[in-house]
């Protein structure tokens, strides 16, 4: 049975959230084509992941010295380390169990929301996504990232160099063993055209970007 893990991280939990609208669209179309599939939804803004603490670092460093994350369970020494490991293991296991990871990641101050960064830090415990000999356990994972930004940061734009979100997420998942060809990033930009006075001339381009993102996500959801 195939499995979809759906994560939203937008602090704006109202229906007008661009990333939430778009991840919801993908999920509906994907589930319609996989009626027997497993599905897990996490709202990282509504139920924040605990930031990693000192015990996480202590256990992680101990594991790195031994050269394998599979010793993590055996290397726990304190109750605090046990809590950190249990929180981490639950979230990492969800990633390991899924076939498709759907991630809503709006751009905040040129990068990722704190809620998403906390999740990334938590699941990135040394070695959890690699097997014996360093073999990647996420080699078959498909990642669909939905981003939204108030301006335009795409290739060729004046602000392209200030997009630290999409290169970061792409690099992160590649480092975890996801093949680059399995990572799709879909962006709806110019969202502030609907909010900020004086940006009304950008609204046609914003509407076109949103429509293109919808079309691409439907295509991706129905392609496999």
List the binding residues.
10
Yes or no: say if 123 and 42 are a contact pair by the CB < 8 Å rule: no
User: Could you give the CA distance from residue 210 to residue 216 in angstroms, rounded to a whole number?
Assistant: 10
List 148's β-bridge partners, or say none: 188
User: Could you give the CA distance from residue 97 to residue 115 in angstroms, rounded to a whole number?
Assistant: 22
Residues 6+ apart with CB under 8 A from 155: none
Angle subtended at Cα 160 by Cα 156 and Cα 165, rounded to the nearest 5 degrees? 135
User: Could you give the CA distance from residue 143 to residue 158 in angstroms, rounded to a whole number?
Assistant: 28
Yes or no: say if 157 and 164 are a contact pair by the CB < 8 Å rule: no
Q: Would you call 156 helix, strand, or coil by DSSP?
A: coil
The order of strands in the sheet holding 100-104 is 38-43, 3-8, 100-104, 142-148, 183-188
Binding residues for FMN: 10
């Amino acid at each position: 049975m195939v499995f979809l893990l759906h994560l939203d991280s937008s602090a704006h939990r109202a229906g007008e959230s661009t990333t939430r609208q778009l991840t919801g669209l993908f999920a509906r179309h994907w589930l319609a084509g996989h009626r027997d599939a497993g599905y897990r939804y996490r709202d990282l803004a509504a139920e924040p992941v605990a930031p990693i603490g000192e015990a996480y670092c202590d256990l992680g460093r101990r594991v790195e010295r031994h050269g394998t994350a599979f010793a993590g369970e055996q290397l726990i020494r304190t109750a605090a380390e046990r809590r950190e490991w249990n929180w981490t293991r639950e979230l990492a296991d969800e990633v390991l169990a899924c076939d498709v990871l759907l991630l809503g990641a709006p751009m905040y101050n040129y990068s990722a929301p704190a809620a998403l960064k906390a999740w990334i830090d938590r699941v990135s415990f040394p070695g959890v996504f690699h097997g014996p000999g360093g073999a990647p356990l996420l080699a078959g994972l498909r990642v669909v990232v939905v981003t939204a930004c108030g301006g335009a940061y795409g290739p060729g734009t004046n602000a392209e160099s200030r997009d630290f979100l999409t290169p970061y997420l792409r690099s992160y998942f590649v480092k975890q063993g996801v093949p680059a060809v399995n990572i799709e990033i879909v962006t709806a930009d110019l969202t502030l055209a609907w909010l900020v006075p004086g940006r009304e001339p950008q609204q046609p381009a914003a509407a076109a970007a949103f429509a293109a993102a919808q079309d691409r996500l439907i295509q991706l959801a129905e392609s496999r």
